[in-house]
Amino acid sequence: MQMTQATFDAWLRGTRLLRVEDGALVVGVKSGYAKDWLENRLLAKIERTLARLAGQTVGVRFEVDEAVAEADEEPPPQPSPSGGGGSERAAFVVPEYDVLGAGFFQMAGYESRFWAPCLGRIAWRVVEIVRETDRRGTKRTAWTPARRWTTPSLAELVPCGRQAIVGVDRACGVDHPGAFSVEAGWRRHQNGAFDRLVAAAVATVERRGDPPRVTYWVSVRNQLGLLRPDQVAVLAPRLQEKHDRWLADHGFDPREWDI
């Protein structure tokens, strides 16, 4: 099993065996986000490996170890816009995990070769624009400072239509996946760049205010790790082959890249 240094630092560093309870190993982890990630992404492989080594089934449970819990467990805070008022309803969900560790190593050209086509031209351009506003130089952190944007200002810089940034609700039938009811009938949300970036845990986006004075507070990652297998799967077949070669060239076995 292989992983990047960033993945190890973010989720596994600091883990330790706390106790054996009801025949299961209870492993302490540094945050609730690490616990969720390990349960969803690595637990089955850990239990298979332990069963092979021990010759019998071995259960594993994770719990947050307060002794090593990180102070920065929460996602980066979103500052409130100046002027106070406006709706508190967030239009997009803040990602529940942070895959970037302080020891992340540079991967020359990886983002432009693989992340850009995975996210799409408009979403990737939004990442570039937001990063360009981070003027902290060598003092940059994992995330850019949250900054207030309007849809017209971003759309002009990309350039693209406004709906390509925030998405659009379109009429649909009641049986359409994701359909929701409004007074005028049934609608479905067609994703925009913000939706894709948040779903990929590349950005946090918070909507403030009501039309016509809606603003969005946006923060993006200053560096990205490796694509997950499900993200690689959306690439064109030739790009998937290139990604497998890239992994092999950098010491990863593509056949084991399932974490």
Residue 94 has pLDDT above 50, yes or no: no
Please state, rounded to an integer, the average pLDDT across all residues of the chain.
79
Q: What is the arithmetic mean of pLDDT over 204-222?
A: 93
Instruction: Report the alpha-carbon distance of residue 218 to residue 142 in Å, rounded.
Output: 14
Residue 14 has pLDDT above 70, yes or no: yes
Peptide bond into 159 cis (omega under 30): yes
Token pair listed for 44: 């089955």
113-155 pLDDT tens trace:
999 999 999 999 999 999 999 988 888 888 999 999 999 999 9
What is the set of domains in the chain, with CATH numbers?
A: 1-74 (3.30.300.180), 110-220 (no CATH)
Contact between residue 144 and residue 220 where contact means Cβ atoms under 8 Å apart: yes
Q: State how far the alpha carbon of 211 is from the alpha carbons of 92, 150, 159, 208, in Å.
A: 16, 11, 22, 10
* β-sheet with 147-149: strand ranges across: 147-149, 215-220, 203-208
Instruction: Report the alpha-carbon distance of residue 6 to residue 225 in Å, rounded.
Output: 7
175-200 pLDDT tens trace:
888 888 888 788 888 899 999 999 99
Token pair listed for 204: 């946090």
Per the listing, tokens 């998937």 go with 240
pLDDT at 149: 96
**Torsion angles phi and psi, residue 143, rounded to 5:** -115, 145
pLDDT at 258: 53
CA angle at 81 for the pair 78 and 87, rounded to the nearest 5°: 90
Instruction: Report the alpha-carbon distance of residue 119 to residue 111 in Å, rounded.
Output: 10
pLDDT at 184: 78
pLDDT at 248: 83
Instruction: Rank 22-26, 213-217, 247-251, 255-259 by mean pLDDT and report only the highest.
Output: 213-217
DSSP state of 254: G
Better-predicted residue by pLDDT, 30 or 162: 162
